[in-house]
Structure 1
């Protein structure tokens, strides 16, 4: 089990037009003081512009490791907003990365109980937010996207609360391993199926991975 890690900051935001773009997003988030209710639909006071791809039960809470910002800043010195809260996360910590966290891991956070459901998939909004082309692609290539939780038990949370790791599925897959395999051009069918059947994985990811395994099977993929 991972040692408890404190949440350094809690962030929430509303839908607004992005600077320098005609489209809207809720990627711009500001620190939250005091306690906020976390439910299956997300953090009270937080919004998403496109509920097809953000928010909802499989993406109720976004966690981004603060450690990643130094790496991004080193690669993109001209990028803006490369500090905790800058990429639309709800919680920021130090001491937990994709190397440590597995799909299906369950944590206690404040009064809530949450489960890792899937990695974040970087999108165009990151490049727009940072005013720098290529940041989203770099994040995807290097597995620096952070991850989402589903909420098993609702409750109030706050900055300063500790993420207490309470359960890990058998044969769990780390987020780093998940990211590496997804990025492979032709992974083995067995590897894809292992990801697809990861305990706690969001059903949308399971369906995509099953489709990929079928494609590989029909196109000469190795078992």
Structure 2
């Protein structure tokens, strides 16, 4: 039975442009689209990626970030008396490079494999987002990518099962939930917190709707008994560092 609960507040796209003081190319800057936009197998029409190896493609066609988290970030920064310029990014949707912005859907309420009808498209949650150092540059905070990972406020990706037009105001109708025990938050917890939970890793390796690269991480960890390094993904290269601001 279908279940229409949520609505799209904004659909966002971005083009490749210099990021930060050092000018690394990135398309993390997203802006709301007026009207409707075509969502195909590899993403939204007009949405670009600077590094196809790590962004976009069929398994990461659409990035969803809950607008609910924006208030949490602002409250944390205010409580820590931090007023860095990067906090102004939270004044508008698109700060985290998301393509889809909503309220009410979070990592704790959606599951890998969930199938949704959004406008004219059919999509399926494929994996959580793994944050990278470009978030730190974008927010002008050296630890931002690690904070996103540690708080597990990462957002998630969809694969496109059926292409079609989507736009702000569309309903988000859940049509299937094959893995109700595997929320996005649980996947993140197994990957980053309960890292040696072998039973959970075995289950994760066998989740047929989870992106193959994530299943491979679980399989490799089981085989080696070691946790993979995240340094190259999270730590800003020295050539891109412009500040030493921290989030408390």
- Distance of aligned partners of 1:2 and 1:72 in 2 relative to their CA distance in 1, 3 Å threshold: farther
RMSD (Å) for aligned C-alpha atoms: 1.6
Offset from partner CA, 1:123-152 (integer Å, 9 cap, x none): 111111111222211110011000000000
Matches within 5 A, 1:102-181: 102-170=111-179, 172-181=181-190
Partners of 1:59 and 1:117 within 8 A in 2:
yes
- Distance of aligned partners of 1:130 and 1:88 in 2 relative to their CA distance in 1, 3 Å threshold: same
Query: Take 2:4 and 2:173, find their aligned partners in 1: how far apart are those partners?
Result: 7
CA deviation after TM superposition for structure 1 residue 193, in Å: 1.2
Greater Cα shift, 52-61 or 130-139: 130-139
Partners of 2:114 and 2:179 within 8 A in 1:
no
Q: Does 1:191 align with 2:192?
A: no
Query: Take 1:171 and 1:75, find their aligned partners in 2: how far apart are those partners?
Result: 31
- Distance of aligned partners of 1:72 and 1:2 in 2 relative to their CA distance in 1, 3 Å threshold: farther
Ranges in structure 1 where 5+ consecutive residues have no aligned partner: 218-223
Offset from partner CA, 1:183-205 (integer Å, 9 cap, x none): 13642211111112223100111
Offset from partner CA, 1:87-138 (integer Å, 9 cap, x none): 1100100010000000000000001000000001111111111112222111
SS at match of 1:81: helix
CA deviation after TM superposition for structure 1 residue 63, in Å: 0.2
Offset from partner CA, 1:1-50 (integer Å, 9 cap, x none): 76520010110000010131221100011110111110111000000000
Query: Take 1:90 and 1:132, find their aligned partners in 2: how far apart are those partners?
Result: 22
Query: Take 1:114 and 1:144, find their aligned partners in 2: how far apart are those partners?
Result: 21
Greater Cα shift, 197-206 or 7-16: 197-206
TM (normalized to structure 2)?
Answer: 0.83
Offset from partner CA, 1:41-72 (integer Å, 9 cap, x none): 10000000000010000000000000111112
Partners of 1:2 and 1:100 within 8 A in 2:
no
Ranges in structure 2 where 5+ consecutive residues have no aligned partner: 227-248
Matches within 5 A, 1:1-223: 3-76=4-77, 77=82, 78=84, 79-82=87-90, 83-170=92-179, 172-184=181-193, 186-216=195-225
